Amino acid sequence: MFTGIVEEIGTVLEISSDKITINCSKVLNETKVGDSISVNGVCLTVTSIGKNFFKADVSQETSKITTLSALKNNSEVNLERALTLSARLGGHIVSGHIDTIGKISKVSKLSDFYELTISFDSEYNKYVVRKGSITVDGISLTIADCESGCVTIAVIPHTYSNTVLKNLSVGDKINIEFDILAKYVEKNLYSRDNSNITNNFLAENGFV
């Protein structure tokens, strides 16, 4: 489990069809083999640790449903260690399990802030709400506005400068994880015929 607050930007030292080696420093602190690290939002298990690097396996399924397969040597990636019970939850609850690959549709600079428009398959519309949370390449972000198949996100300068967002251009693909709370609400709504939770109930109580 993660928070979506990126701890540092790492650099890919080596990548193959099933393994990745990443140069880093901060996330290695107290990390041991078997621990989880989020790499651009993808939860990977550390298999080996060296001086200023760690290695992880990448399954075929992970390569298929994320953008990790597009990484190359020297690619920069967002890194975050798994959440501990004593840590502050500065972002939101992030599982590290990617739902879909989205695409950057627009990048705008507004004074000191940046605005990103991200498109994705409209089947995921049900998981996004205005002022709700979304994870983009492992970054916890707030949705400023949403339409069918896209969201607009306002990004503060610190987040933009200290994550891989600064490297993104129109047309680039990114990993998206939707809010896990929305998924549990959906399951409760549609898997229990006798549920008292309805769309009207959620709207009346400020959930949607």
Question: Is residue 148 domain-resident?
Answer: yes
Question: Is residue 95 domain-resident?
Answer: no
Q: How many domains does the chain have?
A: 2
129 burial (CB, 10 Å; 0-12 / 13-18 / 19+) is: middle
Dist. CA 194–CA 32, nearest whole Å: 46
Question: Is residue 164 domain-resident?
Answer: yes
Q: Give the domain range for residue 38.
A: 8-81
Residue 128 near residue 177, CB atoms below 8 Å: no
The pLDDT tens digits of the residues spanning 126-165 come to 999 999 999 999 999 999 999 999 999 999 999 999 999 9
Which of 6-10, 83-87, 201-205 is predicted least confidently?
201-205
Q: Which two tokens stand for residue 15?
A: 């990548």
**What are the beta bridge partners of residue 114?**
109, 155
Which of 14-18, 45-49, 86-90, 196-200 is predicted least confidently?
196-200
The pLDDT tens digits of the residues spanning 11-65 come to 999 999 899 999 999 999 999 999 999 999 999 999 999 999 999 999 999 999 9
pTM recorded for the entire structure: 0.89
Question: Is residue 86 domain-resident?
Answer: no
Dist. CA 101–CA 62, nearest whole Å: 12
67 with 129, same domain: the answer is no
